[in-house]
Amino acid sequence: MATTRTDVVIVGAGGAGGIIAAELAKAGMQVVALERGPRLNTSDFAGQDELRFFQRQDTRPDVKRQPVTWRRNASERATPLGSLAYGNQAGGGTVHYGAVSWRMHEDDFQARTNTIERYGADAIPSDSSLADWPLRYADLEPFYDQAEYELGVSGKAGNLRGTRIDGGNVFEAPREREYPLPPLLVEQPSLVFDEAARDMGYHPFSTPRAILSQPYNGRAGCSYCGFCQGFGCHMGAKSSILVTKLPEADATGNFELVTGAMVHRVNSDGDRATGVSYWLPDGSDNTVEADLVILAPFIYDNTRLLLLSQTPQFPNGLANSSGHLGKHVMTHLMARLLVKFDDRRMNAYMGPSAQKHSIDDFNADNFDHSGHDFIRGSQISIGTHNLQGGPISVSTINPPPGVPRWGAEYRDFIADAFTRYASMVAQTENLAYADQAIDLDPNVKDAWGLPAPRMTYDWRRPNERARVEFMLQRMEEIGEAMGASQVWRAPLSPGRPGAHHEGGTRMGSDPAESVVNRYGQTWDISNLFVVGSSTFPTMSGFNPTLTIQALAYMTADAIVNRYRGSPGPLV
Amino acid sequence: MGRRLSRRELLKNTAAVGAAGAVPAAAWSPLVNAQGADVPASLTADAFQTLEAVVARLIPADANGPGALEAGAASYIDRALGNALADALARYRAGLAALDALAVERTGRAFAALDAAMQDTLLHEIDADSAPNAALTGFVAVVLGHTIEGTFGDPRYGGNRDFIGWNLIGYPGLRLAVAASDQRMSDLPQWTRSSAYELAMFESLDPESEFDDD
Ligand SMILES: Cc1cc2nc3c(=O)[nH]c(=O)nc-3n(C[C@H](O)[C@H](O)[C@H](O)COP(=O)(O)OP(=O)(O)OC[C@H]3O[C@@H](n4cnc5c(N)ncnc54)[C@H](O)[C@@H]3O)c2cc1C
């Protein structure tokens, strides 16, 4: 058992934690990051070993050691989810993510106000806790810019300071400057998708991705091996925290990364955090004392650690005087449509990530929702059916109705379809509801003996069902326009959480209605910060990570330039 | 309904394999007996025979070419049950025994001794929602998932022999760099055939090493 002292302790060295660590260390603060997993190198990744990385998920949390359980409602007993979509090593989820990197729309930050203004308060389901963010897009723009340029994102602007640019996403919020790198190369499915979408009056574009389309900052450009989403990049062309921010932090001399460190408690004294306690693989229980405690272990442990760290003053979880800890959890419901062609090969396995080209015409409030029985929307992309397209992923392709899942007919289907299919996905925004929640599972424990985080969640609410159905119909139209010989829907999940889990430590402008302020600073304990998508009040129809990272830069900036000089509440 | 690669395509692409000169030098070879048949490492000989028979029905061979059995999927599973899939060993033992018992009860013969149509009938029966025996509930799905791994996974793990799986679906093979023109193409690219661990960049890596936690 050891006790050390530092200025700042960060829990989790992933997508968000890595940025804060580097920025604070560069500003001269002494930073210790505690990461439960190992620190790997690009040379550890035989990126093309699909069995190891895609199937057995060697860089993702082990569902047996680190279970997250799920139940549809409070009367069910929760069972462990079969796979977990976040990190388990230095660099976190950014090591194996698809690197799709969006800025949210201006409208996404004010969904509640805008919905009421345009469609009336009745348009919001009465049980939804849809809320505005406590900041505006313009507040975050400089930090989006910083993230894109420091990490390296490839794309094409569709809105430069208000000027719409064809070929980029014309629905995007105004950006101050172009992307640092041009878009990635186009593949056959995107060529066909773009043509159909344009004919239909939509606005297709190359999905912005934190993958280098050219050499940048001493790193090599992508070579299009195709093993990307789910894999560590063997050449470092994916702009993961492992190859971007951790080397920066190392270079300061102010940064220490402790790997194999499983944090189990935030220590506090009244309304001050004093540090954290963690177990090492040798079983020892250790403590870091720090002036500033920053939680960045992704949404489950953001909530779980606060619940586990209750005190007499905070009996319902540390920094939870609002009672909102663990609530308003959201996930992206993935509506999927498959298309198959007789006249050409799609070769969907080519190229990086699963969301290749996209349209944004049906996202957010980019289209008029009058007369529809839902609000908000979804971005729609073309690519492979599920995450990646290597040969084992043939198992993820849902056969069309009538084709069995095994046997001679199945074999004929996959032999025919593997090179001829592509898949569209609508990543639909799920509204926040207070009863979509995370708490501690009374029955299931993790490998350390801690109660597993438990999700109570069922997406099948009227607004969500209507949104999903609308998107499936739009995708069917696009599929027909693409000239597919066959178009079919993938089955929808029976309530199961989808992609990109968010919420649990919601940010807001009212301490009674939220856990943290716009900087991720807890309302109750001013030297305790929480970063990551757990702070999102709404999720948008976009993948979250660039927004997580922009917020991390904003938090670091506020700490260095304001908090450090006069510690205390930032709002 | 479906269609395999045309004869022309097969010839074209087989030629490409020859040109690339990739000969799979399997880092792991199965144990074989004097007759050249696989000898199981985790399962008993009887259970392994049943597993081979199941795998052969999940992705069967046909007149156009070999299937999962020929790709070595059963032997991939048997070996993995000794390491990465060790948690599933008990499940396999119980499931295969129960399937055999069911076959004996219905026909008086072991599952592996039945003809393909009868094997399919029994597999459909246990794949329905109400399997006649708890050990068989969900068993087909479990074996199917691993059969796919053993048919389409990297040959380094003992399956996908002679790249039977990749040939079946027309997967062109691992390539470290793909040209812009290949990315766009609406035809099949040239094939290459090698394990990831035969590529110079990765040959020193051990796929079954553990990443250290510290
Ligand atoms: C296959 C896949 C594809 C994805 N694709 C995309 C995409 O294309 N675009 C996108 O925007 N997002 C994508 N995501 C999501 C993305 O990975 C996450 O949004 C992002 O990594 C979250 O950042 P984070 O810092 O909050 O968490 P993480 O990056 O997961 O970092 C959290 C870190 O904390 C550590 N940790 C957790 N608990 C503890 C503890 N108690 N003690 C110590 N350490 C702990 C974890 O090991 C981890 O390293 C994808 C995810 C997956 C799995």
Which of 61-100 (A) contact B at CB < 8 A? 64, 89
pLDDT at B15 over 70: no
First to last CA, chain B: 52
A99, A238 contact by CB (below 8 A): yes
In whole angstroms, give the CA distance from residue A237 to residue A219.
6
Which of B58, B189, B207 is nearest residue A49 as measured by Cβ atoms?
Answer: B207
- The domain ranges of chain B are 7-210
Pick the catalytic residue from A264, A385, A500, A501: A500
pLDDT at B7 over 60: no
Which of A55, A260, A409 is nearest residue B214 as measured by Cβ atoms?
Answer: A260
Could you tell me if the CB of A94 is within 6 A of ligand 1?
yes
Which pLDDT value is given to residue B34?
67
In whole angstroms, give the CA distance from residue A159 to residue A147.
18
Q: How far is the CA of A298 from the centre of ligand 1 (A)?
A: 6
pLDDT at B11 over 90: no
Strand-strand pairing, A285-295 and A3-11: parallel
For A101-155, the pLDDT digits (tens) are: 999 999 999 999 999 999 999 999 999 999 999 999 999 999 999 999 999 999 9
Average pLDDT over residues B31-60: 88
- Split at pLDDT 50, 70, 90, the class of B21 is very low
Rounded to a whole number of angstroms, the distance from the CA of A197 to the nearest CA of chain B is 18
Which pLDDT value is given to residue B203?
84
Which pLDDT value is given to residue B159?
96
Low-confidence residues in chain A, pLDDT < 70? none
Amino acid, res. A502: E
- Split at pLDDT 50, 70, 90, the class of B212 is low
Q: How far is the CA of A241 from the centre of ligand 1 (A)?
A: 11
Which pLDDT value is given to residue A58?
85
- Split at pLDDT 50, 70, 90, the class of B130 is confident
Mark whether A500 is an active-site residue: yes
Q: Which helix (H) or strand (E) holds A340?
A: strand A327-340
Angular region, A520: left φ>0, alpha ψ -120 to 50, beta rest: left
In terms of pLDDT, which residue wins out, B1 or A346? Answer: A346
- Split at pLDDT 50, 70, 90, the class of B23 is very low
In whole angstroms, give the CA distance from residue A406 to residue B72.
17
- Tell whether A52 lies on the interface with B, counting CB pairs under 8 A: yes
DSSP A350-369: SSSSS--EEE-TTSTTSS--
| Residue A41: how many other CB atoms lie within 10 Å | 11
- Split at pLDDT 50, 70, 90, the class of B4 is low
Which pLDDT value is given to residue B1?
37
- Split at pLDDT 50, 70, 90, the class of B31 is low
How high does pLDDT run on average in chain B?
A: 85
Which pLDDT value is given to residue B3?
47
Rounded to a whole number of angstroms, the distance from the CA of A223 to the nearest CA of chain B is 5
ipTM confidence: 0.93
How high does pLDDT run on average in chain A?
A: 97
| CA proximity to A533, closest of A330, A321, A293, A304 | A330
| CA proximity to B207, closest of B84, B125, B73, B58 | B84
Interface mutation target, options A36, A41, A44, A49, chain B, most CBs of B under 10 Å:
A49
